[in-house]
Amino acid sequence: MYKEMVQRNQDFINVVIQLTRDHDLMRRMIGQIKDLLSKNEMDERMVALMDALLIVDFIHNEDEMNNLVGPNER
C-alpha cells in the first residue's frame, strides 16, 4: 500500500519511510517477545516490550490516519 501511495504522490515519501521504520521496529519487538516466550522468560522485559509495542503501534496508526488517509476516506 505504501509504495502505491508514494507513486501517486511523492509528498508521502518521508511519511512512508517513517511508517516503514515503525513496521521494522514492531517486527523486532515481536521477535524479542517470541524469544522470551520460547524460553519461558516472562518477566519485566516482556512487559516493557509489550508496552513499547503498544505505544509504537498507537503512534503508527495515528500517523497513518493523519498523514495518509484523507478525511473523506475515514
Q: What is the pLDDT of residues 2-21, one digit of tens each?
A: 888 899 889 999 999 999 99
Which residue matches cell numbers 516472562?
42
Q: Within a 13 Å sphere around the CA of 18, how many CA atoms are in the beta-carbon half?
A: 15
Q: Map residue 40 onto helix, strand or coil.
A: coil
pLDDT in the model for residue 73? 56
62 has pLDDT over 70: yes
Alpha carbon distance 39, 66 (integer Å): 39
Neighbours of 67 (CB within 10 A): 15
